[in-house]
Amino acid sequence: MTAPVAAAYMCVSQSTFLVRFASIGRKEGGNTFWARAQLDQIIAEQFDLTSIGAPPPELTSEDEYAAWKAKRNSARQK
């Protein structure tokens, strides 16, 4: 999916989507794409659903999504 389609799929604005998930997109030429399986896994983690069979996306500690996820998890533990 392209950024506008993936953002709509995740129900966020394109700018918010890119802040959170730009680093897990895959470059192909001048385009960046996101796999629906990746996004489904993120949704499953966000709502504490059981695994849907897709492997979790590989993320680094500098990744905006990882930072957002860590912040969300620390807020839940309080």
At 51, the amino acid letter reads S
More confident residue, 67 or 11: 11
- Residue of 18, 33, 27 lying closest to 65 (CA atoms): 18
- Give pLDDT tens digits for 2-48: 999 999 999 999 999 999 999 999 999 999 999 998 998 888 888 77
Cα 16 from Cα 11, distance rounded (Å): 10
Strand partners, 28: 31
Residue 74 scores a pLDDT above 70? yes
Angle in degrees, CA 24, 29, 35, rounded to 5:
35
In the chain the first and final C-alpha atoms are separated, in Å, by 36
Residue 76 scores a pLDDT above 80? no
What's the whole-model pTM score?
0.61
Cα 68 from Cα 20, distance rounded (Å): 7
